[in-house]
């Protein structure tokens, strides 16, 4: 293996430390405690795990963390009323509605009901438009985390060829916008892209956000390229015992690490940065809502 391993867990710990410092200063200097409300509808086990870890992280950072749980069959109107209340609540600076929502609820309507200033996921159409036009916005947490790690590793990204595999609104598209903002030459690949390995071979930076275990192999990677593996896939792991599973990314770690200059592992790469950036966005939202300067080191 020749690639440097980009340790997302360690990097996330430094971001969380910075966040805790900002939170302490907000309390001391302005009497403000950043508050994050997380709303979960239903009992999806994976969502419950995410919501619990988000709640724990907010408290560890010294923030106010409030959890709202609605029944799986709660009417859409009940969720919209809760969002209205949170929009109007001055103690709450960030609102996150855990996705996916049950099928009777219109997720776009719900996301766009959140006050854009409190939209710490960066999914509101106003924030999407602001990011797309290079204006100050709330930036989705996973791409923001990738960008922070890329900047830390490379310094300037200007002029680099970047290939983002995946075009979701949550990861692929905002990631591409951020890289364009850094003056990369950006290609967005997806399931209809012709000769994907050849497209990826041109990239100095590869961001894989697909959801297919080990799809990107070392022979797709340009020597020395930086590989950000966003994918989180649970696969069977009979070597760990019957019925056991393990997490892997979208990149075949061993073969990619032979060729790449740097690579994020799964687990322990991009994943921990997502929660760290949610905390960072909550501090950013709290400062903006209160007319304070941008928090250093926490924004795009
Ligand atoms: P989506 O399913 O919304 O998007 C997947 C994208 O991959 C689509 O654009 C799809 O193309 C593309 N795709 C699918 N198959 C291929 C293929 N064979 N070749 C090229 N492109 C393909 O997923 P998300 O963006 O929400 O998530 C992607 C991965 O990232 C998942 O594993 C998810 O678990 C993980 N994730 C990790 C996070 C973290 O914190 N680390 C946070 C969010 C997601 P098309 O549009 O043409 O269908």
Residue 208: which pLDDT band, with cuts at 50, 70 and 90? very high
The one catalytic residue in 18, 98, 118, 250 is 98
Determine if ligand 1 sits within 6 Å of the CB of residue 196.
yes
Would you state the pLDDT for residue 87? 98
Would you state the pLDDT for residue 261? 98
How many C-beta neighbours within 10 Å does residue 78 have? 13
Average pLDDT, integer, range 180-193: 98
Determine if ligand 1 sits within 6 Å of the CB of residue 230.
yes
Model confidence pLDDT, tens digit, residues 42-92 = 999 999 999 999 999 999 999 999 999 999 999 999 999 999 999 999 999
Would you state the pLDDT for residue 95? 98
Determine if ligand 1 sits within 6 Å of the CB of residue 211.
yes
For all residues of the chain together, what is the average pLDDT?
A: 97
Model confidence pLDDT, tens digit, residues 209-230 = 999 999 999 999 999 999 999 9
Model confidence pLDDT, tens digit, residues 264-282 = 999 999 999 999 999 999 9
Q: Check: CB of residue 138 under 8 Å from CB of residue 119.
A: yes
Q: Check: CB of residue 83 under 8 Å from CB of residue 98.
A: no
| Domains along the chain with CATH numbers | 30-119 (3.40.50.10860), 141-272 (3.40.50.720)
In 3D space, the residue among 289, 283, 268 whose CA is nearest the CA of residue 17 turns out to be 283
Model confidence pLDDT, tens digit, residues 108-160 = 999 999 999 999 999 999 999 999 999 999 999 999 999 999 999 999 999 99
Determine if ligand 1 sits within 6 Å of the CB of residue 166.
yes
Q: Check: CB of residue 272 under 8 Å from CB of residue 9.
A: yes
Euclidean distance between CA atoms 67 and 142, whole angstroms: 21
Determine if ligand 1 sits within 6 Å of the CB of residue 191.
yes
In 3D space, the residue among 281, 283, 207, 267 whose CA is nearest the CA of residue 234 turns out to be 267
How many C-beta neighbours within 10 Å does residue 1 have? 13
d(CA 231, ligand 1 centre) in Å: 7
Euclidean distance between CA atoms 264 and 257, whole angstroms: 9
Q: Which of 164, 165, 171, 213 to mutate to test ligand 1, by most ligand atoms within 8 A of the CB atom?
A: 171
Position 1 pLDDT exceeds 80: no
Greatest Cα pair distance, the chain, in angstroms, is 56
Q: Is 244 among the residues known to form the active site?
A: no
Determine if ligand 1 sits within 6 Å of the CB of residue 192.
yes
Strand partners, 161: 185
Phi, psi of 248 (to 5 degrees): -135, 165
Average pLDDT, integer, range 12-18: 97
The one catalytic residue in 18, 54, 118, 222 is 54
Would you state the pLDDT for residue 99? 96
Q: What is the pTM of this model?
A: 0.97
d(CA 210, ligand 1 centre) in Å: 3
Would you state the pLDDT for residue 25? 97
Measuring from atom 4 of ligand 1, which residue has the nearest CA? 168
Peptide bond into 33 cis (omega under 30): no
Residue for token pair 């697909």: 210
Would you state the pLDDT for residue 124? 98
Measuring from atom 17 of ligand 1, which residue has the nearest CA? 191
Would you state the pLDDT for residue 116? 98
Determine if ligand 1 sits within 6 Å of the CB of residue 210.
yes
Minimum-distance ligand 1 atom for the alpha carbon of 250: 32
């Amino acid at each position: 293996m020749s690639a440097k391993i980009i340790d997302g867990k360690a990097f996330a710990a430094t971001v969380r430390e910075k966040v805790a410092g900002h939170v302490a200063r907000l309390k001391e200097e302005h009497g403000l405690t950043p508050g994050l409300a997380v709303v979960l509808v239903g009992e999806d086990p994976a969502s419950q795990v995410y919501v619990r870890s988000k709640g724990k992280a907010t408290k560890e950072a010294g923030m106010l963390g409030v959890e709202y749980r609605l029944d799986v069959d709660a009417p859409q109107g009940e969720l919209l009323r809760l969002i209205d209340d949170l929009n109007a609540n001055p103690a709450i600076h960030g609102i996150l509605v855990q996705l996916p929502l049950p099928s009777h609820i219109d997720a776009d309507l719900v996301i766009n009901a959140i006050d854009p200033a409190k939209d710490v996921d960066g999914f509101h159409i106003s924030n999407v438009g602001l990011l797309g036009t290079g204006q100050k916005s709330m930036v989705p947490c996973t791409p923001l985390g990738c960008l922070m790690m890329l900047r830390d590793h490379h310094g300037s990204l200007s002029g680099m060829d970047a290939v983002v595999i995946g075009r979701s609104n949550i990861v692929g598209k905002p990631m591409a916008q951020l890289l364009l903002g850094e003056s990369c030459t950006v290609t967005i690949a997806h399931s209809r892209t012709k000769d994907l390995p050849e497209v990826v071979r041109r990239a100095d930076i590869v961001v894989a956000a697909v959801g297919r275990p080990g799809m990107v192999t070392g022979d797709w990677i340009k020597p020395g390229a930086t590989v950000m593996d966003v994918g989180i896939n649970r696969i069977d792991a009979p070597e760990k015992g019957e019925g056991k599973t393990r997490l892997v990314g979208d990149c075949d770690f061993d073969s990619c690490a032979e060729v790449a200059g740097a690579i994020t592992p799964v687990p322990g790469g991009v994943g921990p940065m997502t929660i760290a950036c949610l905390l960072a966005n909550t501090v950013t939202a709290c400062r903006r809502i209160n007319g304070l300067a941008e928090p250093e080191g926490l924004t795009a």
